[in-house]
Structures are given as structure tokens and as C-alpha cells.
Amino acid sequence: MRVALAASKCFEEKEATYYLNSKLYEQLFDIEDALNEGFSQFIENQIKELDRFNAYHRKNCTGEGCELCQTTLIT
């Protein structure tokens, strides 16, 4: 019984991952840089850029009055 439950949960997760990836790729087809670089490379570059931005923000954040902190999940 536990194996069947674990398998059905895993299948649902794979299904969800497939759905999200398909929606992501649909959107990437509209971005010229993503087409030129390739989707995987484009996503990797975007993640690196966001990581650099987040590190810069953490280092330079002004505190409670920071508009970015108030409007996003960056902390």
C-alpha cells in the first residue's frame, strides 16, 4: 500500500513538473535571447543574474524604507 501511495505521489509531482516546464517553454519561445542562446543556457544566465542582483541588494539595502523589500520577497 505504501509503495502505491508513494508511486502515485511521484507521478503527480512528475506531471506537475512537466506542466510547469511546458508553460515555461511556451513563454521562452517569445524571447529572442532565449531562442538564440538555447533555453537551458538562457535560464541558467537569468538565475545567475538574479543571484548577483540579490547579493548586491543584501549588501546595499537601506532597511525599512527599501521599496524593493516592501514589494518583493527579497529579504
DSSP string, 12-54: HHHHHHHHHHHHHHHHHTT-HHHHHH-HHHHHHHHHHHHHHHH
Question: How far, CA to CA in Å, does 60 sit from each of 34, 48, 66?
Answer: 30, 18, 10
Q: Are residues 63 and 38 in the same domain?
A: yes
Same domain, 39 and 24: no
3 in the same domain as 25? yes
57 and 36 fall within a common domain: yes
Domain that holds residue 57: 32-75
How many structural domains are present in the chain? 2
| Residue range 6-61, pLDDT digits in tens | 445 665 778 878 888 888 899 999 999 999 999 999 999 999 998 998 888 888 88
pLDDT at residue 18, as a whole number: 83
59 and 72 both lie in a single domain: yes
| Residue 62 sits in the same domain as residue 72 | yes
Based on the fold, state whether residues 75 and 42 are members of the same structural domain: yes
pLDDT tens-digit map of 49-62: 989 988 888 888 87
